[in-house]
Structure formats: C-alpha cells, structure tokens
Amino acid sequence: QMDVDPGPPAGIVGLSSAVSGADGAFEAKGLSRGKPLRIDVSHPSYAPWSSDSQYSQKPPANEVVVHLLVGANFAVELTRSDGGPIEGVNLILTSETPGIYKGDTGTDARGHATFGNVPPGRYELWFIAPPPLGREEGHTVKKMIEVSQGESKSEKIDITTP
C-alpha cells in the first residue's frame, strides 16, 4: 500500500492511496505538478519506507523506484532484580538517522514488548523505569540497539538500578 501526501509536511492535505499490483507497480493519480509530496510505503512483511527526505522540496520528475527491506523484529523484556516482570512501561525506539523510524509500544503483563518490521540500522531505545518501592521518581533508561535486515533480536533488561 502507498500513501501520497501532496500537502505540507505538517498537515495531511490531499491524501491519496494506491495498492500495488502483483508486479509491485502502483500509480498515484490526481497529484499537482510542482507541489512537494511525501510517499509512504507499507507492507506487513517489510520495513516501512518514506520519502520524507527525498521529495520535501519538489516532487520526483517521473517514476519512483522503492526498494523495500525485510524488517527486523526487536523484542524487549523488562524485569526487576528478582526476575519479576515490569508491566505498563512505554518504550520508544528511534533511529539514529532522523526520519527513518520511530516506534513506541508498552510492556505487557509479562514485561514483554515487540517492535516489528524495523528497518536495518542503529536505534536508541529509551523509557522511564518505574520507581522502586519507597521512592517517588523513576529513572530514564537509554540503550543503543543495532538490528540487521530480517533479524529477530531480543534484549532482557533489569531496570532495578539506574
């Protein structure tokens, strides 16, 4: 599926959508010549792709060729020092290169969270760990993560101490 936004980056103006055929080709109709546009491509088996940095000043002259990559799956398990799970923590994963990927999710009752179809690259995972008993404030945890195309990676993180 492809979404094309011929409006300014801050707004969704004139949103158009197209689904590719079996050959992977798609056509977006009704676009205005000379207007900036953004193209976002998504597929359940691949990492998302966006043209934010490529066509922000002017649209492409003709054909746009998109090479989708098999995304990585990144799983996190948050635990206390006794091994017990930490539920309800919001995790944010942001690509080292701005605009490539930003995802957020929360841990479930088992302390698990998963980011799916992450493009290959380096990421910063960060979250605010809940405070230990008897304390009022949690602490911020930041961790650099690197994933490869098609990789399934997992991290177990003890968040008891800053």
Predicted confidence band of residue 15 (pLDDT cuts 50, 70, 90): low
Which H or E element spans position 128? strand 121-129
Check residue 34 and give its pLDDT: 63
Q: Is 23 exposed, middle or buried (0-12, 13-18, 19+ CB in 10 A)?
A: exposed
Percent share of the chain, pLDDT over 90? 32
Tokens coding 110? 């088992």
State pLDDT tens for residues 81-121: 888 899 999 999 999 987 778 899 999 999 999 999 998 99
Check residue 10 and give its pLDDT: 41
State pLDDT tens for residues 36-71: 667 778 888 888 877 754 555 555 566 777 788 888
> How large is the C-alpha radius of gyration of the chain?
19
Please give the mean pLDDT across all residues of the chain.
78
Check residue 111 and give its pLDDT: 94
